[in-house]
Amino acid sequence: MPADSTQIHNIGYRHYDGQRLGRAYATRSLFSQSLRGAYGLGRSAKSKVLPMILFGVMCAPALIMVAVAVATKANDLPVDYTRYAIVLQAVISLYLAAQAPQTVSRDLRFKTVPLYFSRPIERVDYVRAKFAALSSALFILTAAPLIVLYTGALLAKLDFADQTKGFAQGLVSVALLSVLFAGIALLISAVTPRRGLGIAAVIAVLTISYGAVSTVQAIADEQGSGSAIGWLGLFSPITLIDGVQTAFLGATSAFPGEEGPSTGAGVVYVLVTLALIAGSYAGLLRRYRKAGL
């Protein structure tokens, strides 16, 4: 050891008398740290790989569509803004399954949570910061391709008013989708601190519910009970979003036979969506009541 050549001079302990920014600042810091973490920023190179690949996969089809639309001088984009997230829902599920456990289970698994709660922030601040962070991460993932599509549409000189309206509707839809999916995925990950389990559980809940709902819907369609199709959509997150945007955001339903819910049923869809979001928030708060020190 070159202890004689280099010497660290002990300058003694210095007290900190600068400002302490308190609870709101700490919550914001936790939000930005979690948001960055959801894309692997500020973490190891290995943890950047998956979110970045998924982000690329999410945007690639939009780029291709835009290229095609510009090259062929088409009158409209091949896919609606509101439809894009529905088509690429598998990518969204994968992203959530990878990042939701990362956002909350890590703190639970390594018992870092008590360190947060021994600081100025409270339980609600922690839950809000994490919820907001994952929702924002998901919004970035789902809104980025819409921006690509919109920019492309304007470059291809498609109808401005029409495209702007579609784009705005798409943004509202993916915002709702982000909050809903983030809530569900966070709650699942928070009750399964083991990472592998969390990933599996998130994928299972999102895809199995969708699989089951669309199968039953297809059967209902075969048997000609069209009205049942609309109500069945209430039972999986992605069909819920589909129903809401069909009823209110001018989207064409992805349900079999395009049997989307009417405006009246749409209200139920919105209520169920909001109830799910509120429920997952309350569930998270409850979960962290016990996870303190």
Give the residue with the Cβ less far from other proteins, 40 or 266: 40
Q: How many CB atoms lie within 10 A of CB 18?
A: 6
Rule CB under 8 A: say whether 15 interacts with other proteins. Answer: yes
Distance CA 272, CA 266 (A): 10
| Interface pick for other proteins out of 67, 115, 275, 282 (rule CB under 8 A) | 115
Distance CA 142, CA 87 (A): 11
| Interface pick for other proteins out of 48, 106, 165, 195 (rule CB under 8 A) | 106
Rule CB under 8 A: say whether 29 interacts with other proteins. Answer: yes
Structure tokens at 245: 């945007």
| Interface pick for other proteins out of 49, 72, 110, 279 (rule CB under 8 A) | 110
Give the position of tokens 């990518």: 91
Rule CB under 8 A: say whether 23 interacts with other proteins. Answer: yes
Give the residue with the Cβ less far from other proteins, 165 or 195: 195
Rule CB under 8 A: say whether 290 interacts with other proteins. Answer: no
Rule CB under 8 A: say whether 47 interacts with other proteins. Answer: yes
Residue 57 CB, shortest distance to other proteins, in Å, is: 24
Residue 292 C-beta-side C-alpha neighbours within 13 Å: 11
Span interacting with other proteins, options 25-33, 224-232, 248-256, 278-286, rule CB under 8 A: 25-33
**Residue 49 burial (C-beta neighbours within 10 Å; 0-12, 13-18, 19+):** exposed
Rule CB under 8 A: say whether 190 interacts with other proteins. Answer: no
How many residues lie near other proteins (CB under 8 A)? 37
Rule CB under 8 A: say whether 49 interacts with other proteins. Answer: no
Q: Do residues 167 and 150 make contact, with C-beta atoms less than 8 angstroms apart?
A: yes
Rule CB under 8 A: say whether 16 interacts with other proteins. Answer: yes
Distance CA 267, CA 38 (A): 32
Contact flags string 116-145 toward other proteins, x per CB under 8 A: xxxxxxx-----------------------
Distance CA 196, CA 97 (A): 10
Span interacting with other proteins, options 105-113, 180-188, 223-231, 271-279, rule CB under 8 A: 105-113
Give the residue with the Cβ less far from other proteins, 106 or 287: 106
Angle at the Cα of 252 (from 259 to 74), degrees rounded to 5? 145
Q: Which residues contact 288 (CB under 8 A, 6 or more apart)?
A: 113, 123, 126, 127, 190
Rule CB under 8 A: say whether 111 interacts with other proteins. Answer: yes
Angle at the Cα of 65 (from 61 to 66), degrees rounded to 5? 115
Q: Pick from 242, 241, 266, 265: which is nearest to 253 by CA?
A: 242
| Interface pick for other proteins out of 1, 2, 4, 18 (rule CB under 8 A) | 18
Give the residue with the Cβ less far from other proteins, 132 or 206: 132
DSSP symbol at 101: I
> Which residues of this protein are in contact with other proteins, per CB under 8 A?
8, 12-16, 18-23, 25-26, 29-30, 33, 42-44, 47, 106-107, 110-112, 114-122, 292-293
